[in-house]
Structure 1
Amino acid sequence: MIAALLEAVGDAAAVLSYDEDRTFAALSLSHFGSVGSSRLDWSGAEVLRSSPTFAGGELQKLLRELGRLDELAVVFWGNLAVPSLALEAGLVAAHADAILECCSECWVYLVDSGVLIEFQDGEGFTAGRVSR
């Protein structure tokens, strides 16, 4: 699935190196504790939106409401063997269904807006501001 996503977006997406991944994770994911093995602990965070919906249309809506479609977005996958991607948020929105089909959990970090969107299959979305 991720190969199909990369083929669809072409050179517009950058596959992050380990060091790049860790740098972006330090700016976003690392600001949160975890609940269980992979869910973020949102207690104490500024939660902007929560939605029990787990469809691509909801991710598109969140991206438009909470960030700019022309800003850099980093997609982290629940499977650590899959490299993170950096691409324009508009491309994440355009390929939201494909992104959500790639795995049962992922996170999208909107770099300029400082917003992190968590997706957990079966639970939906939580979006919040990353404290800087």
Structure 2
Amino acid sequence: MGAIEGYGTQREAVEALLGAAGPSAMVLSFREDRAFAALSLNCFGSFGSTRLDWSVAEVLERTSGFDAAELCRLVGEYGEGGGLGVVFPGNLCVPSVAVDLALVGAYADALLDCPECWVFLVEQAVLIEFQDGEGFVVARVPVPG
């Protein structure tokens, strides 16, 4: 099964997020996922399949905290002004979700159920990464040059 066929086949993995965020959340199609990835995740190099290379980016903050309150703080601080957030799970079988940043508090616990995930703050061009048990990394998305 290729990436397109496998994309989003585990929708149940984001049901808690969708239930918590309600109508403000939208499951992205494969094409939409790849378009947002081109503006964010794909601007970084990687180590292995899910480790981003932060050496090409302006790292704004690294935290050891790994809970919903810390995620809410980071999104509130770096997503000031609100806007759209795109949540990329670490597995293409789990679909990406677009959400209103103002509602992160309602779904932060559900997000942290993913073992690895990235939240792209679209208007701010900031990416927040969390790897299970390792805390958060917040960085500006590098401008391709």
Q: TM-score, normalised by structure 1?
A: 0.93
Are positions 1:111 and 2:122 aligned together? yes
2:52 maps to which of 25, 36, 40? 40
Contact 2:56 2:142 in 1 (8 A): no
1:128 maps to which of 120, 139, 143? 139
Q: Which runs of 4+ in 1 moved over 2 A?
A: none
Following superposition, the deviation at residue 93 of structure 1 comes to 3.2
Larger radius of gyration: 2
Q: TM-score, normalised by structure 2?
A: 0.85
Gaps of 5+ in 2: 1-12
Contact 2:14 2:95 in 1 (8 A): no
Residues in 1 aligned to 2:36 and 2:94: alpha-carbon distance in whole angstroms: 15
Aligned length: 131
Following superposition, the deviation at residue 64 of structure 1 comes to 1.0
Alignment of 1:1-132 (within 5 A): 1-68=13-80, 70-101=82-113, 103-132=114-143
Q: Return the structure number with greater strand share.
A: 1
Write the deviation string for residues 29-86 of structure 1: whole angstroms up to 9, x where unpaired.
0011112220111013100000111111111111111113631000000121011000
Computed over aligned residues only, the root mean square deviation of the Cα atoms, in angstroms, reads 1.3
